[in-house]
Amino acid sequence: MRRLGRILTAGALAAGLTIPAGAAAAAPPADAGTGWHAGIPPLATKWTSKVGPDNALPEYPRPQLTRDKWQNLNGVWEFARADAGQAVPTSQTLAERVLVPYPIESALSGIQRHEDRMWYRRTFTVPKNWKVGEGQRLQVHFGAVDYDAKVFVNGTQVATHRGGYDGFDVDVTDALNGTGTQELIVWAEDLTDATGQPIGKQRRTSDHGIFYQGSSGIWRTVWMEPVPAASISGLSTTPDVAGSALKLTATVAGGGTNLKVKAVAKDGNKVVGTVTGTPGTELRLAVPKPKLWSPDNPFLYDLQVTLVDGGNKTVDTVGSYFGMRQIGTAKGADGKLRIALNGKILFNLANLDQGFWPDGLYTAPTDAALKWDLEQDKAMGFNAVRKHIKVEPDRWYYWADKLGLMIWQDMPAANTGPIPADWRAQFENELHEMVREHSSFTSIVAWVPFNEGWGEWDRTATGRIADDVKAQDPTRLVDAHSGVNCCNSHGDSGRGDVIDFHQYLGPASPAPSGDRVSIDGEHGGYGLKTSNHMWFGDGQAYEMEPDSATLTRKYVENQEAVITSAKRCGISASIYTQITDVEAELNGFFTYDRQVTKMDLKQVKKVNQKIIAQADGSITNIPQPPPGTPGLTGITFYPLDESAGTVAADTVAGNNANLVNGAAFVAAHTANGVSLDGGSQYLDTGKPLLNTASDYSAAAWVKLDKADGGFQTVVSQDGPSNSDFYLQYSGADQRFAMSFAGVRALAPVKPNVGQWYHLVGVRDTVKGELRLYVDGELAGTASACLPQSGPTGNTVIGRGKYGGNPVDYLDGTVDQVHLYDRALSADEIRQLFTSNN
């Protein structure tokens, strides 16, 4: 018995290649069709009814290492629930029937329930003309089994494997019993979210929110093929556009002497380059005047790799393909660092793709269905896709290669909390295996180890992991943590090639910094309910719309803002959520069953094409703000010195601020101030005092009576839904901040309860920044390069507004509030602080 590692980015169907003659038909599975019945999914796709025992994903599953002889082992298998420590049911008929490779929780499997442990069983016969045992070996390949697997042939254990997203290959030759019927049994265990294993969005039970029904057991194709005793076990291909060459490494299993590898690249029937060399070493295959792969021209070369012996006799031959492209960065005319494809700036306009199906869950019902989602991305004008915390079968990447879509590939997350210490090495192993297995797919342009801090246990470790991935694959971008500003993130490690913010509804607008480009890693999420096409009969989104026309308008307006973010802030990519609804998430372009289109796709395509055309790094003229009112008093000054009454007078312009809900004057930092109870009390000026479309500053003395996980607002101005800005205590960070919704310039340390602090928040439209000063010193900055609309709501002291509601009431005392119609300088802010005013 030989235990093989996963074949490296295995074999290929290139553009124009077909499955080899005599190889396409699926082998009839044991008991084909007997006793198996598909379940009834809550929603059915147009492909659901096309799936049956004789055509369960019959395509050759490994498009980058193809062979002429193979046999598909998908189809009806026997199935049974398993217990820990249970004896292998050799030569025993199992009671149930399951359709492989659909996960057992899916309707297409016929089981439609979760089991922690399970047995699969079937028989097979090796074709005599494969000559297994006569110089040929038999390999059985598993595309993926979630999560722990053991494989038995004729009662002999031939393999174990851990990992739900990577494949494994098993040489079963020595376990065969002659040439007759052979027995294949697979044991699988999947505890899903009860462990620290990588699971992506899977949960044992859907939460009716952003986590979905899990997928257990065999969920990708199982197949077998004969290989010579010495055979090509893997191909690694890396384009070298600058050198007009393909770097190629062919690994060989089984040994042998005087073996050579010969690789031939073709453009159709024309040979463009050949190379011969030693197995296991990097070879350079010349590709003169290469035709470059891009979304507009996804050209792929055919590749044939042959293993020959010392007498130049062919030992093994595999087919493959490759594309010539280079992903990197370049500065635009505006001086901002941006993503470049083949040396030219190209905005990556991506759709978020979770890869779930109502009938097959993790497994698309058919290859046509797998391709369909990507075809819609292309038809809508997207040039990229973020594969969100899931790894797809190889044919998904093949279709992305052929269609011309740039892929941002996530590592599937573990649970949202820190990965337990005893699971961290496993996570890293699976991450590097994902990179290894997929390193030859042309379409993949970026690796994303972490999403929104899920699973992160340490910011330094995250940075190290990003460095490790970059060292493993220096030819692609590494996005250390998508949504580094969000959720469970431990903060920016400063590593990788990308600064990635999430903002719903967004778009996010981080600015490039140093040698890192910036992207909007998630935004959008507008939803629409569609009767009879919802998994739970209902659902939600980040913002629900009443009809398709409104949904389309909201999308177009949101994407127009992406252009502004790209021009003003320098983002190089944006990722909209999402291609389809998933369970209770109703924010797709299409319903979960792919039966209903929810937007006017002509308008979608038009604005998407506009983004790619205009977000090119050209110079944008940013309007210069007026000089503003000189001096340190400001356009408005509330000393809050009144000793009685319910009105605070503005000593500059005569604007009164009403004390609301019992707010009261008390002794404060300078004479009197106003005490607020954190529940409902605040001061309302009755009108907008700041022009939020230009530069402004807000200053105040504040003393907190508590500093916990709740937000508290010192000064803000109401907008249509959220405050235009917040000078605040951020409960999420337990630090002072100058903020927009989703963007915070944070102080470095937590403030002390009962201590007076001087806060100044500055909005600088030219630099595209928010700045926070604490006690006269710069405490934090944040990129806020998007222009704001003009004022619409009242300036208020002691509360904010979010989601249309009053929120974040100050629990403490405020004093000496100044408002300015310009961005104060650092020297002016120090003077204001030292003046105690």
pLDDT in tens, 496-529: 999 999 999 989 989 998 999 999 999 999 999 9
Q: Give pLDDT, residue 1.
A: 25
Query: 773 pLDDT exceeds 50?
Result: yes
**Taking residues 565-580, what's their average pLDDT?**
96
Average pLDDT taken over every residue of the chain: 93
Range from 207-211, 431-435, 797-801 carrying the lowest mean pLDDT: 207-211
Query: 25 pLDDT exceeds 80?
Result: no
Decide the pairing of beta strands 71-72 and 222-228.
Answer: antiparallel
763 touches 691 (CB < 8 A): no
Residue 645 banded pLDDT, cuts 50, 70, 90: confident
**Taking residues 326-352, what's their average pLDDT?**
97
- Give, for 806, the enclosing helix (H) or strand (E): strand 805-807
**Taking residues 648-656, what's their average pLDDT?**
92
Q: Give pLDDT, residue 31.
A: 39
**Taking residues 551-569, what's their average pLDDT?**
96
Query: 194 pLDDT exceeds 50?
Result: yes
**Percentage of residues of the chain with pLDDT beyond 70:** 96
476 or 28, higher pLDDT: 476
Q: Give pLDDT, residue 786.
A: 83
**Token pair belonging to 390:** 């899931």
Query: 27 pLDDT exceeds 90?
Result: no
Residue 505: what residue type? L
Cis peptide before 507 (omega within 30 of 0): yes
**Taking residues 275-280, what's their average pLDDT?**
96
Query: 231 pLDDT exceeds 90?
Result: yes
Alpha-carbon distance of 334 to 345, in angstroms, equals 12
Q: Give pLDDT, residue 783.
A: 82
Alpha-carbon distance of 327 to 215, in angstroms, equals 34
Query: 3 pLDDT exceeds 60?
Result: no
Q: What pTM was computed for the model?
A: 0.85
Range from 7-16, 359-368, 498-507, 772-781 carrying the lowest mean pLDDT: 7-16
Annotate 716-751 with DSSP letters as a single string: EEE-SSSEEEEEEEETTTTEEEEEETTEEEE-SSPP
Residue 188 banded pLDDT, cuts 50, 70, 90: very high
Q: Give pLDDT, residue 256.
A: 75
Cis peptide before 147 (omega within 30 of 0): yes
- The alpha-carbon radius of gyration of the chain (Å, integer) is 30
210 touches 539 (CB < 8 A): no
Query: 792 pLDDT exceeds 90?
Result: yes
Distance (Å) of CA 695 to CA 357, 760, 776, 819, 823: 48, 14, 19, 11, 5
Dmax (CA) for the chain in angstroms is 104
